[in-house]
Structure 1
Amino acid sequence: MVAWGVITACTVQADGYTALMVIRALVGAAEAFIQGTILYLSFWYRYNELALRGAIIYSTVALAGSFNGLLAYAIQMNLDGANGWSAWQWIFLIEGCVPIAWAFVILGLLPQTPENIRWGFTAEEKEVVLQRSRASHNTGDSKIRPKLIFKLLADPKFWMVAMIDSGAHFCTGTLSNFTPAILEGLGYEGVNAQLMAVVVYAAAFVGILGSCWSSDKLQKRGIVICIDCALAAVGYALLLGLTNNTGRLVATCLVAAFAYPVGVLSLAWTASNNVGYTYRASAAALINVVAQSVGIGGNQAFNDPPYYRKGLASSLGMICMAGVFSGLLILYLRVLNARKRTDQYTEKGERMRLQTVDEIGNTHPDFFFSY
């Protein structure tokens, strides 16, 4: 957070294309650590609690998008030209300083692991925290085991989730970057486009919380992702087919409400289905690498204003891909669970049970996949 804040604030002094590109690359490097949020939550919460907790955190991205629109409007109206700075410089300075200050608060309040709780809990509460962590197959002496990373990369489940997250990231990344441009294509200009972006991100905020609450309540990840992908696809189809501005705005909100939750749910699904520190941490990181790589192409697709049909058609294809892979993963996990139940109490299962979850990861005979 400190790194992100400092780099963002430094954007104020960017004096050319090269400097701006260097700063943006550094911002991206700092943002990469955000994906560790679900991994951190998995140390503290049970599998059936992860989606909603992740939603509470990631919905703030949508909430921030709403505030960004309001902040940009307020700065453009009141600070543009103040101190000789343009409105965009004030935006980067303010948005950079806030996380720097907040990071030091978090540093004092947030323990690294359940084993390292420093204050604020009684001995009994600390024991409850540890028991809950153990119920999610966490161990206090976890470490990275390189051979399991290679095993993860050879696992079809990893690539299926990577495709789900890639589809979601392509859609949310382009929506985040091009919402003002899309809204201008709908007839809203300048500060009015910034204000209308608030509506779009508010829809995303509600959608993330609603979908992830439903997922935890039903204890289903895959089917909720499939439904979200289908509804987001409807939104993209409407955007491609409609020319009426009001209808296109509603369709944009529909996309935001159901595309954003897919990424959050895929991360929660990853954390639930990869046990042992190596599997869980590596899956979270490497899936993000794949998704970010795919997302780069999204920024090149939105280059045909005002309707951006090529970009919207690409997004429609990507969200459909996410839905298809989610359905395939459900079927695959059912097959794997059936095999694990068959082998659970065999001689092979008893031998494997002598090893810890941290040593053998998902192949432990007492671990079953959620779908």
Structure 2
Amino acid sequence: MASPADPLHHPGAGAPPSTFEEATYRKVSWRLAPFLMLCYVVAYLDRVNVGFAKLQMTSDLGLSDAVYGFGAGIFFIGYFIFEIPSNVILHKVGARVWIARIMVSWGVISMLTMFVTTPTMFYVMRFLLGLAEAGFFPGIILYLTYWYPAHRRGRMTTWFMTAIALSGVIGGPLSGYILKSFNDLNGWHGWQWLFLLEGIPSVIVGIMVFLMLDDRIANAKWLTREEQQLLESQVSAEEATKHDMPIRQVLTSGRVLMLSLTYFSFVMGLYGVSFWLPTIIKATGVTDAFMIGLLSAIPFAAAVVAMVFVARSADRTRERRWHIALPAFAGAVGLVLSVVWAQSTVLAMASLTLATMGILTTLPLFWSLPTAILAGTGAAAGIAMINSIGNLAGFLSPYAVGWLKQATAANDSGMYMLAAFMVLGGLLAISVPARIVNR
């Protein structure tokens, strides 16, 4: 019997799955889940380590909060431009080659960021990093539809996206340690070492993707023919219930646009926390870089537990909408309380923990909505469009928080804005018809 933490265990509704079916999906999950999580950990670390670099580089380079916020966010403009073409290319050429290309290129660009000396150079490198990474996340979401039917995919998506939280658990203390211990080594600042040392794993893992990842079920030599037939039959049965819309129709669909706005709202909360968490902790009175890193790991560690628990509940009940909305509302409450209790490190950390748990829990479950509707090339384009529009919030969120912080000399307005977006996202999730997604 699968353990409670098994990413595969799912009793489902109706007739229970056969022992052979459960064993097959368990085999697939233990093959894919840890590897995909590793990919996302190094990806997300390179995306948001600029939040820790800020603790030193803004003073070293004379960058204002508004300049930092714009530079942190311009990543998502490059991401937006190449997102849809990248995902369509992945659907055509296969995940192995394309994901490997993405990871190696962004690892190299992340390392080169250590050489920036002006705001313009900072903007250019962040833009290029977004251009290089475009297509990674929606590519993995699409890749999971090649292997899992909807009632199993929610759990797998959650396990994959716990990498966001794990990157916070690992990256916070690691980034704080690098900033503190490597500063002035070889004449380089700590933030320069941060970009260099945290970019190397992306290149290494990218090479591993090329050598180890299988594009489709039929390419997986580690599966028996009977196991391949079982997996292919379940995926084919679900695909037959979907309509593969032309790309143009997908990109103008009202439902896809509504889902894009929903995801945009959640991503506003995500990157508001991700890019500004170290700064918020510092504002409570903590000044040691390594201690800030340790404290920043707490909200993300709690989020791992919340993400897995809520995903298990959603898959068991086959209910999606309220499992998305309630964490979104909890995240909004946490954001508001984080500024109400900003003068107390303990209370502010408790609030930020609640906010992070709520925000991160919404994200993987959100993807159960579009993947229940879209198929084929339409799914590749639709998922990429939702992700690219949603991730424009990654540009707006840190910039808006930085601008509001600079204009008001406080974090309050920025956190209230993020809370409002989390409430909006929760309300939009509830508005999706249950008959479409609860299966």
Give me the TM-score of the superposition, normalised by structure 1. Answer: 0.83
> Which amino acid in the other structure matches residue 305 of structure 2?
V
> Which amino acid in the other structure matches residue 121 of structure 2?
A
Match of 1:319 among 418, 422, 426: 422
Cα 1:138–1:179 change in 2 (3 A) is farther
Instruction: Give me the whole-angstrom Cα distance separating, in 2, the residues matched to 1:249 and 1:369.
Output: 35
| Structure 1 gap ranges (5+) | 338-367
Q: Is the 8 A contact 1:211 1:224 kept in 2?
A: yes
Residue 31 of structure 2 aligns with which residue? none
Cα 1:138–1:76 change in 2 (3 A) is farther
Instruction: Give me the whole-angstrom Cα distance separating, in 2, the residues matched to 1:53 and 1:84.
Output: 44
Instruction: Give me the whole-angstrom Cα distance separating, in 2, the residues matched to 1:28 and 1:138.
Output: 35
**Aligned-partner SS, 2:368:** helix
> Which amino acid in the other structure matches residue 283 of structure 2?
G
Instruction: Give me the whole-angstrom Cα distance separating, in 1, the residues matched to 2:394 and 2:167.
Output: 21
Q: Work out whether 1:204 is the aligned partner of 2:303.
A: yes
> Which amino acid in the other structure matches residue 23 of structure 1?
M
> CA offset at residue 313 of structure 1?
0.8
Instruction: Give me the whole-angstrom Cα distance separating, in 1, the residues matched to 2:329 and 2:255.
Output: 21
Which stretch shifts more, 262-271 or 203-212?
203-212
> Which amino acid in the other structure matches residue 260 of structure 1?
L
Residue 370 of structure 1 aligns with which residue? 438
**Aligned-partner SS, 2:183:** coil
Q: Work out whether 1:194 is the aligned partner of 2:285.
A: no
Residue 80 of structure 2 aligns with which residue? none
> CA offset at residue 103 of structure 1?
1.5
Residue 370 of structure 2 aligns with which residue? 270
Instruction: Give me the whole-angstrom Cα distance separating, in 2, the residues matched to 1:369 and 1:257.
Output: 23
Q: Is the 8 A contact 2:179 2:194 kept in 1?
A: no
> CA offset at residue 97 of structure 1?
0.9
Q: Is the 8 A contact 1:42 1:136 kept in 2?
A: no
**Aligned-partner SS, 1:205:** helix
**Aligned-partner SS, 1:268:** coil
> CA offset at residue 161 of structure 1?
1.4
1:268-297 CA-partner distances (Å, limit 9, x unpaired): 3211222x2123112211111211223322
Q: Work out whether 1:182 is the aligned partner of 2:280.
A: yes
Match of 2:255 among 132, 137, 157: 157
Instruction: Give me the whole-angstrom Cα distance separating, in 2, the residues matched to 1:291 and 1:184.
Output: 29
| Structure 2 gap ranges (5+) | 1-102
Q: Is the 8 A contact 1:226 1:324 kept in 2?
A: yes
Instruction: Give me the whole-angstrom Cα distance separating, in 2, the residues matched to 1:30 and 1:112.
Output: 21
Residue 163 of structure 2 aligns with which residue? 60
Residue 325 of structure 2 aligns with which residue? 226
RMSD over aligned Cα atoms: 2.3
Which stretch shifts more, 225-234 or 290-299?
290-299
> CA offset at residue 35 of structure 1?
2.3
Instruction: Give me the whole-angstrom Cα distance separating, in 2, the residues matched to 1:241 and 1:211.
Output: 27
Instruction: Give me the whole-angstrom Cα distance separating, in 2, the residues matched to 1:18 and 1:198.
Output: 31
Instruction: Give me the whole-angstrom Cα distance separating, in 2, the residues matched to 1:123 and 1:50.
Output: 22
Instruction: Give me the whole-angstrom Cα distance separating, in 2, the residues matched to 1:42 and 1:324.
Output: 26
> Which amino acid in the other structure matches residue 94 of structure 1?
L
Q: How does 1:21-100 map to 2 (within 5 A)?
A: 21-33=123-135, 34-100=137-203
Which stretch shifts more, 173-182 or 85-94?
85-94
Q: Work out whether 1:167 is the aligned partner of 2:167.
A: no
> Which amino acid in the other structure matches residue 247 of structure 1?
L
Match of 2:360 among 256, 260, 263: 260
> CA offset at residue 307 of structure 1?
4.4
**Aligned-partner SS, 1:120:** coil
> Which amino acid in the other structure matches residue 198 of structure 1?
A
Instruction: Give me the whole-angstrom Cα distance separating, in 2, the residues matched to 1:15 and 1:241.
Output: 37
Q: How does 1:86-125 map to 2 (within 5 A)?
A: 86-117=189-220, 119-125=221-227
**Aligned-partner SS, 1:189:** coil
1:291-318 CA-partner distances (Å, limit 9, x unpaired): 1223322122223277411111111110
Identity across aligned pairs (percent)? 23
Q: Is the 8 A contact 1:273 1:370 kept in 2?
A: no
The alignment covers a number of residue pairs equal to 330
Q: Work out whether 1:4 is the aligned partner of 2:106.
A: yes
Q: Which has the larger radius of gyration?
A: 1
Q: Work out whether 1:17 is the aligned partner of 2:119.
A: yes
Instruction: Give me the whole-angstrom Cα distance separating, in 2, the residues matched to 1:77 and 1:102.
Output: 26
> CA offset at residue 71 of structure 1?
1.0
